[in-house]
Amino acid sequence: GYHADRWKNLLLLNSSPTKAYFDTSEEDPFCMYNYLLDITTWNKSTRRGFIQVKITDSDGNTVESEMNSEASTFQQYKRVKILTGFYRDIKNVSKISLTFSTKTLIGPKHKLRILQMKLKSLNYPER
């Protein structure tokens, strides 16, 4: 990876579209705590949308993830991995809440039925 203060010059050398993921730190302006959300769903029909994650610790402190800019596609019994980030760290997670949204104002509301879910800290993999 590249340090965030040097990303622009390195990525602009490529003329094709590029995705980049940056290391962050515990201090501003680059503080972000990254988690990998691994979901398996069991809806019979395909769902496309966004997941927002809310985690709560044993003291009741809650933090919400930033919404991903790209929608994910969820198919029956297929695993989907989503990189999600939080601006504060939660050490002793006691509750995880997911909100599924299609970001459409018109149309039917869909549920996303979760068969299996795993949330793993990328900053602290031992958690």
* 51: nearest Cα among 94, 105, 111: 111
Q: Where are the domains of the chain?
A: 24-121
pLDDT in tens, 42-89: 989 998 889 999 999 999 999 999 777 788 999 999 999 998 888 888
Q: What is the pTM of this model?
A: 0.71
Residue 102: pLDDT over 90: no
Residue 19 neighbours by CB distance under 10 Å: 6
| CATH C-level class of 24-121 | mainly beta
